[in-house]
Chains A and B, each alone.
Chain A
Amino acid sequence: MSRASKNRRGIADLPSAVLQIPIVCGLIGLWYGLTETAVLPKFFFGEPFKVFGVLWHWFTSGEIFPHLGVTLVETVLAFVFGALLGLVIGLWLALNPTASRLADPYIKAANAMPRVVLAPIFAVWFGLGIWSKVALGVTLVFFIVFFNVYQGIREVSPVLLANARVLGANARQLLRTVYLPSATSWVFSSLHTSVGMAFVGAVVGEYLGSARGVGYLILQAEGVFDINTVFAGMLVLTAFALVLDQAVGVVEKRLLVWRPTHGETEKL
């Protein structure tokens, strides 16, 4: 996208949207042109206007909302459970060297495993409802949060710890006032990645077998070679992911108010 602004110096001053909107229009035009002139077969590549027709129908009839709702619930649950589990186990292993030493190879092995292959097992264990998707999302989110927390705790400033101890903190208070805030700040710094992963888990889970959700819509459409609906589903997922990312950005800004950002340091 920035290539356009590099070519000529004059357009670099325009607002990004002015440059970005023609790009997306151009791409859609290209798609339309290539499929209309049968350079690309419509059967495999769909038709842009029919895709928009599907989207229009979904949103005007409200058909899409229950499916989006299910995907959202799965994403949120996967994130919450995965983050909590990662936080607790990360804290525990970081503060307990023996447990950490014993668990190390298993953690590495579990992280190395492609976790998407767990989806069929989760479907058998938890059924085709939301919980098999939540479980898949949890396995993806857990490791991101776990490694962040584990590293974060081991890098807590020793001066901060010594200071809290001198001020009279007992072990529990040390956990509450130093380790936990420090660990949560690491959870939040990985928020974008882990929410994204929770979303991936939900959609992949739906796609591999479900009765509801946007992934389910795509699966159904693919089964009858309705390529326009597949594209429409992809567009909905992309837009949804963008909205989710924006929401995370807002939450992050709220929660990490104490963090210095570049150039923000105030001098008196």
Chain B
Amino acid sequence: MNTQTSGAARAAPRAGAAVPGLALDNVTCTFRSAAGKASYTAVKDVNLTVGDGEFVSVVGPTGCGKSTLLNVSAGLLEPSSGTVRVFGEPLVGMNPHAGYMFQAESLMPWRTALDNVIVGLEFRGVPRAEATARGQDWLQRVGLGAHGHRYPHQMSGGMRKRAALAQTLIMNPKIILMDEPFSALDIQTRQLMENELLDIWSADRKSVLFITHDLEEAISLSDRVIVLSAGPGTHPIGEFSIDLPRPRDVSEVRLTPEFVRLHDEIWHTMKEEVLKGYVQSQQK
């Protein structure tokens, strides 16, 4: 494993926290296929930690089981073997500290933006008036202040993602799981959203596990980038600390020599796996 420790002092309160926010210990996930005989091991012996307040990205070739890791972390999926620890406690059932931003559309089409944002508070039994006030505040923060009355089909893809972000963050989760949240957006909207995400994150540092297939996105956002092997039996094959100074602007940071050096180094590790993944997807 290819680990570098960054010397740059991070403003994060991470140093003090010995217990990681999220830790996967030897997690293996095997799925039985529809026929019932053959089984498919999506991820195998994965060890992965996200420190308290740390922003970790996971990159890997397509179809390598990245989403499986997030589902396991959220408690939506029980691993075949291995354990998940949340702030040191073994995870049973749903992860109460996790917020999850899905790759696919996750807003309820029959609720307005505001009603979607506050649905989690509703589940918790927060009184309607208070929930609405907090929802309005969050809509403001993601730049949708004037659009709370819109239904999802009346919003653009970027607006829906903002609403989904507010829906996740209003619950004040300690761990945020993000599954290629911006992959469906065009490049300009995407960089705007990435900067906004960094703003919100730096104001109130949470642990973030961010999954992407875009290496540039991973480097520009993260404290640490983890590279996964091609599936089946995906596992981490490299880990890189990103010691670029913060605050960062995602479009500017991409032009720095340090960024280019990191990109080269990580890409070198990734390339072989991406090719493997590509060949496999051709054979399927």
Residues of A at the B interface (CB closer than 8 Å) are 157, 159-160, 162-170, 173, 177-178, 181-182, 185, 257-260, 264-268
Contact = CB atoms under 8 A, between A and B. Distances in A.
B171 A167 contact: yes
Nearest to A266: B154
Interface in B93-109: 94-96, 98-100, 102, 104-106, 108-109
Interface in B108-162: 108-112, 119-120, 122-124, 151-156, 159
A166 B99 contact: yes
Contacts of B151: 257-258
A144 B122 CA distance: 33
Which of A167, A173, A265 has the most chain B CB within a 10 Å cutoff? A167
Nearest to B159: A268
Contact of A159 (B74, B105, B155): B105
Which of B71, B102, B152 has the most chain A CB within a 10 Å cutoff? B102
B218 to A, nearest CB: 23
Nearest to A265: B153
Contacts of A166: 74, 76, 94-95, 98-100
Given A185-B110, A258-B153, A267-B156, A162 B102 contact: yes
Contacts, number: 72
B167 A265 contact: no
Contacts of B100: 162-163, 166
A267 B157 CA distance: 10
Contact of A163 (B102, B153, B159): B102
12 contacts: A159-B104, A162-B71, A162-B76, A166-B94, A168-B120, A168-B124, A173-B122, A177-B119, A177-B123, A258-B110, A258-B151, A259-B153
Contacts of A257: 151
Interface in B156-181: 156, 159, 167, 171
A185 B105 CA distance: 18
Contacts of B124: 168
A262 to B, nearest CB: 11
Contacts of B119: 164, 167, 177
B108 A160 contact: yes
B123 A167 contact: yes
B159 A181 contact: no
Nearest to A163: B106
Contact of B108 (A173, A177, A265, A268): A177
